[in-house]
């Protein structure tokens, strides 16, 4: 796990000092690789920089930038290739005699594969997470590529004839040729989704390379200022092969079991201490169960707890750890500990990012780093195997509401919204003595208002977009912004369509970005076994009945987990990885938020219309609802602006 940065400006001689510029870029991401630094240039304006967090082959044989055996290719690479040993054996077998390997790093194997198969064919053969830049001396081309699901980040853009690229925006910002305006469309997307989705970034002309793609650039592209579009080397399957559609329950569970065991065995290879995050939920418990079954030693597991019982999963994780026999470490953090992270968030994330679970994610990463250098994570189980409530709720609601005339739906929505969420909570609490336990829900007022929101829409895709949006009218809040149109569900299964949308957008740009930046801020490598592309492909082609059955989410994962852990240890309502942010904004964070949301400041900066933001802020302060999801993206952007001014 590392950080990469570089630039290419064939006509830069004399304009600035290239080696110094590259050093500034790699120094800006030293947290991604504190163990070593490397630099290379071709003598004609191309500079490749690397920061190394040594995981496999800790010797100097793993130093980057690294050249291929013949010297044709030079690479900087961030990530891990889990099948590098199998690729190495295949490459040796294809030669008259074994290749003269210098060490046993995955980078060296990848370079040899480029020489044997070419870059694009090698990308298709790789199993792993990666972002890379590789220079072809023969063709004088630079190729940028990113792993299939987007575990590792890669930003790039062409500014004044200079191609810039890096793992994080901070590295681009310190280059002397960097000059980019804030994208108002991207800002509106941030308010809408709490993250900026690929291929956009917060800056005009700076892009995120989409997952599963590569782009090749030559001097003509730089001279003309046109880079072309990235090309896909892998796509998420959409069809259901007959072999998977006809699997019996037992066959499907066995196949998943074998895939998971193979993947986790590969991902436990490291020359440094390794462990796993454990929340006690289905996904992380399954990962840890399989790790412990494959290990002769106790697996190191990590959990953080909170004093607030509504946000604390540490007791559940502790019970799972005791059952599995792991070497478990838990840390209870106070509200003050969590609040102390808030000022660090703009530096940790580089780009404005507003999933508030970023705070506990950083805290658990910080704690784990005191014990290990690599930690496996249970992320992606929800998107791949049907874990979110919306996969059941929205199809059921749409099947009923689509039969009701639009005017009647909208009238009912207005009636629901005529009472505040708090008022509905009071009504529900009053009815609790006569309400059956199975019909009681947490935060009924908030859920009713969400139902009212989706009732207003005329298509399934609009309903989905409503549920995943923080601001429903983000383009009205951001001055001068326009948002793209929505994709259509079409004639396919609504739940499958939502899962695909989440896998292509929410998963890489929210979940994986959150974990990558939080962990790499403390120089911790994270690995996500569910995102082995063979598991992703298997899950994508399973019938929905193996994912959601009789109201049970992630059905196939649960059946597999029952082979390792008793049902009673994991069968409980989904809690999520949250913090009481709504209370903090009314309490210890109020003064900080008030300064960032000052109407005069908002008006002078010219990005936001102050009226809608102030109205939401004041309703939140009065306790008329929980508006943290709308407020946090605005606050994270404002805090990021303050950081940008201080650079």
For residue 161, what is the domain's CATH number? Answer: 3.60.20.10
Q: Alpha-carbon distance 365 to 433, whole Å?
A: 43
Looking at residue 192, its pLDDT comes to: 97
**476 is a domain residue:** no
- pLDDT higher than threshold 60 for residue 479: yes
**Binning pLDDT at 50, 70 and 90, where does residue 422 land?**
confident
Q: In degrees, to the nearest 5, what angle opens at C-alpha 353 toward C-alphas 349 and 356? A: 105
**485 is a domain residue:** no
**260 is a domain residue:** yes
**End-of-domain residue from the set 232, 256, 285:** 232
Cβ atoms 183, 201 nearer than 8 A: yes
Looking at residue 23, its pLDDT comes to: 97
**Binning pLDDT at 50, 70 and 90, where does residue 426 land?**
confident
Residue of 69, 28, 24 lying closest to 47 (CA atoms): 24
- pLDDT higher than threshold 80 for residue 269: yes
Asked if 149 and 204 sit in the same domain, the reply is yes
Asked if 52 and 199 sit in the same domain, the reply is yes
Q: Which residues of 156-170 are buried (b: 16+ CB within 10 A; e: fewer)?
A: bbbbebbbbbbbbbb
pLDDT above 90 as % of the chain: 71
**Number of domains into which the chain is organized:** 4
Can you tell me the mean pLDDT for 328-354? 93
Asked if 178 and 303 sit in the same domain, the reply is no
Asked if 247 and 228 sit in the same domain, the reply is no
Asked if 26 and 57 sit in the same domain, the reply is yes
Can you tell me the mean pLDDT for 484-507? 88
Tens of pLDDT, residue by residue over 343-353, are 999 999 999 99
Asked if 73 and 220 sit in the same domain, the reply is yes
- pLDDT higher than threshold 70 for residue 577: no
CB < 8 Å & 24+ apart, contacts of 16-19? 16/176, 16/177, 18/45, 18/47, 19/47
**End-of-domain residue from the set 182, 201, 232:** 232
Looking at residue 439, its pLDDT comes to: 64
Beta partners for 40? 48
**End-of-domain residue from the set 232, 255, 271:** 232
Asked if 304 and 192 sit in the same domain, the reply is no
Cβ atoms 303, 280 nearer than 8 A: yes
**479 is a domain residue:** no
Length of the chain in terms of residues written: 647
Tens of pLDDT, residue by residue over 83-103, are 999 999 999 999 877 788 888
- pLDDT higher than threshold 80 for residue 625: yes
Looking at residue 438, its pLDDT comes to: 63
Element (H, E) at 355: none
**CATH code of the domain covering residue 535:** 3.40.50.620
Show Cβ contacts of residue 372 under 8 Å, excluding neighbours closer than 6 positions. 272, 273, 274, 275, 300, 524
Cβ atoms 137, 42 nearer than 8 A: yes
Show Cβ contacts of residue 591 under 8 Å, excluding neighbours closer than 6 positions. none
**138 is a domain residue:** yes
Please provide the DSSP assignment of 152-207 as one string. S--EEEEETTEEEEESSHHHHHTSTT---PBPHHHHHHHHHHSS--TT--SBTTEE
**Binning pLDDT at 50, 70 and 90, where does residue 273 land?**
very high
Can you tell me the mean pLDDT for 498-505? 96
Report the predicted TM-score, pTM, of the whole model to 2 decimal places: 0.93
Asked if 357 and 316 sit in the same domain, the reply is yes
> How distant, in Å, are the alpha carbons of 212, 368, 604, 615 from that of 599?
42, 41, 9, 11
Cβ atoms 60, 121 nearer than 8 A: no
Q: Alpha-carbon distance 575 to 567, whole Å?
A: 17
Cβ atoms 120, 214 nearer than 8 A: yes
Show Cβ contacts of residue 382 under 8 Å, excluding neighbours closer than 6 positions. 283, 388, 502, 554
Can you tell me the mean pLDDT for 495-505? 95
Asked if 326 and 453 sit in the same domain, the reply is no
Alpha helices by DSSP H, listed for 378-493, are 381-385, 390-401, 406-417, 421-431, 444-455, 460-468, 474-477
Tens of pLDDT, residue by residue over 540-559, are 999 999 999 999 999 999 99
- Choose the weakest-confidence range: 47-51, 378-382, 396-400: 396-400
**Binning pLDDT at 50, 70 and 90, where does residue 240 land?**
low
Can you tell me the mean pLDDT for 616-644? 95
Question: Which 8-state DSSP code applies to residue 6?
Answer: E
pLDDT above 70 as % of the chain: 96
Show Cβ contacts of residue 220 under 8 Å, excluding neighbours closer than 6 positions. none
Asked if 90 and 174 sit in the same domain, the reply is yes
Asked if 35 and 180 sit in the same domain, the reply is yes
**Binning pLDDT at 50, 70 and 90, where does residue 14 land?**
low
> How distant, in Å, are the alpha carbons of 247, 264, 285, 321, 560 from that of 563?
19, 17, 12, 16, 6
Number of neighbouring beta carbons within 10 Å of residue 507: 26
Can you tell me the mean pLDDT for 290-305? 96
Looking at residue 250, its pLDDT comes to: 96
Tens of pLDDT, residue by residue over 176-232, are 999 989 999 999 999 999 999 999 999 999 999 999 999 999 999 898 888 889 999
Cβ atoms 305, 279 nearer than 8 A: no
Give residue 514's domain range: 242-378+499-568
**598 is a domain residue:** yes
**Binning pLDDT at 50, 70 and 90, where does residue 387 land?**
very high
**Mean pLDDT taken over the chain:** 92
**16 is a domain residue:** yes
* Token code pair at residue 331: 């840390």
Cβ atoms 149, 443 nearer than 8 A: no
Number of neighbouring beta carbons within 10 Å of residue 249: 13
In the block, residue with structure tokens 């959409």: 238
Say which residue, 375 or 337, is predicted with more confidence: 375
Looking at residue 573, its pLDDT comes to: 64
**483 is a domain residue:** no
The rounded radius of gyration (Å) of the Cα atoms in the chain is 25
Say which residue, 179 or 276, is predicted with more confidence: 276
Say which residue, 210 or 307, is predicted with more confidence: 210
* Token code pair at residue 647: 């650079």
Asked if 187 and 38 sit in the same domain, the reply is yes
């Amino acid at each position: 796990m590392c950080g990469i940065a570089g630039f290419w400006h064939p006509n830069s001689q004399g304009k600035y000092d290239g080696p110094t510029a590259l050093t500034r870029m790699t120094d800006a991401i030293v947290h991604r690789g504190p163990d070593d630094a490397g630099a290379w240039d071709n003598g004609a304006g191309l500079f490749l920089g690397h920061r190394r967090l040594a995981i496999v082959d800790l010797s100097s044989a793993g130093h980057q930038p690294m050249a291929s055996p013949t010297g044709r290719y030079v690479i900087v690479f961030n990530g891990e290739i889990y099948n590098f040993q199998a690729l190495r054996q295949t490459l040796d077998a294809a030669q008259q005699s074994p290749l003269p390997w210098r060490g046993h790093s995955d980078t060296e194997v990848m370079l040899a594969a480029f020489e044997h198969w070419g870059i694009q064919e090698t990308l298709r053969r790789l199993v792993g997470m990666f972002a890379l830049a590789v220079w072809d001396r023969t063709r004088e081309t630079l190729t940028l590529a990113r792993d299939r699901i987007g575990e590792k980040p890669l930003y790039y853009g062409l500014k004044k004839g200079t191609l810039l690229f890096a793992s994080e925006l901070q590295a681009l910002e310190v280059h002397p040729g960097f000059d980019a305006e804030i994208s108002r469309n991207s800002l509106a997307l941030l308010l809408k989704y709490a993250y900026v989705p690929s291929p956009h970034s917060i800056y005009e002309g700076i892009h995120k390379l989409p997952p599963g793609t590569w782009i090749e650039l030559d001097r003509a592209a730089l001279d003309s200022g046109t880079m072309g579009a990235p090309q896909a080397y892998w796509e998420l399957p959409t069809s259901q092969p007959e072999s998977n559609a006809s699997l019996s329950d037992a066959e499907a569970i066995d196949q998943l079991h074998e895939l998971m065991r193979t993947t986790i065995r590969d991902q436990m290879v490291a020359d440094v201490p390794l462990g796993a995050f454990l929340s006690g939920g289905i996904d992380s418990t399954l990962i840890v169960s399989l790790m412990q079954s494959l290990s002769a030693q106790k697996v190191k597991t990590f959990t953080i707890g909170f004093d607030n019982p509504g946000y604390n999963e540490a007791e559940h994780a502790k019970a799972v750890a005791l059952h599995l026999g792991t070497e478990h470490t838990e840390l209870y953090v106070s509200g003050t500990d969590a609040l102390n992270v808030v000022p660090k968030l703009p530096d940790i994330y580089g780009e404005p990012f507003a999933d508030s679970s970023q705070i506990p994610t950083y805290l658990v990463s910080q704690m784990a780093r005191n014990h290990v250098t690599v930690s496996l994570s249970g992320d992606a189980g929800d998107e791949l195997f049907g874990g979110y409530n919306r996969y059941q709720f929205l199809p059921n609601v749409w099947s009923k509401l689509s039969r009701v005339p639009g005017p009647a739906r909208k009238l009912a929505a207005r009636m629901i919204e005529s009472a505040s969420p708090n008022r509905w909570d009071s009504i529900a609490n009053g009815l609790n003595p006569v309400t059956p336990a199975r019909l009681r829900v947490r935060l009924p007022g908030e859920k009713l208002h969400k139902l009212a929101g989706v009732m207003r829409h005329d298509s399934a895709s609009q309903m989905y977009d409503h549920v995943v949006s923080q601001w429903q009218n983000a383009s009205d809040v951001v001055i001068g912004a326009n948002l793209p149109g929505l994709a259509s569900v079409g004639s396919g299964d609504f739940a499958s369509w939502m899962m695909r949308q989440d896998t292509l957008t929410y998963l890489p740009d929210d979940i994986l970005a959150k974990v990558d930046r939080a962990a790499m801020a403390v120089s911790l490598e994270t690995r996500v076994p569910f995102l082995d592309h063979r598991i992703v492909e298997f899950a994508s082609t399973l019938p929905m009945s193996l994912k959601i059955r009789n109201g049970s989410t992630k059905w196939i994962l649960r059946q597999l987990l029952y082979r390792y852990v008793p049902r009673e240890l994991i069968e409980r309502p989904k809690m999520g990885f949250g913090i009481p942010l709504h209370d903090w904004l009314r309490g210890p964070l109020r003064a900080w938020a008030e300064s960032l949301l000052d109407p005069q400041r908002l008006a002078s900066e010219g990005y936001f219309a102050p009226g809608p933001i102030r109205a939401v802020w004041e309703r939140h302060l009065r306790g008329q609802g929980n508006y943290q999801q709308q407020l946090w993206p605005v606050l994270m952007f404002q805090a990021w602006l303050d950081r940008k001014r201080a650079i």
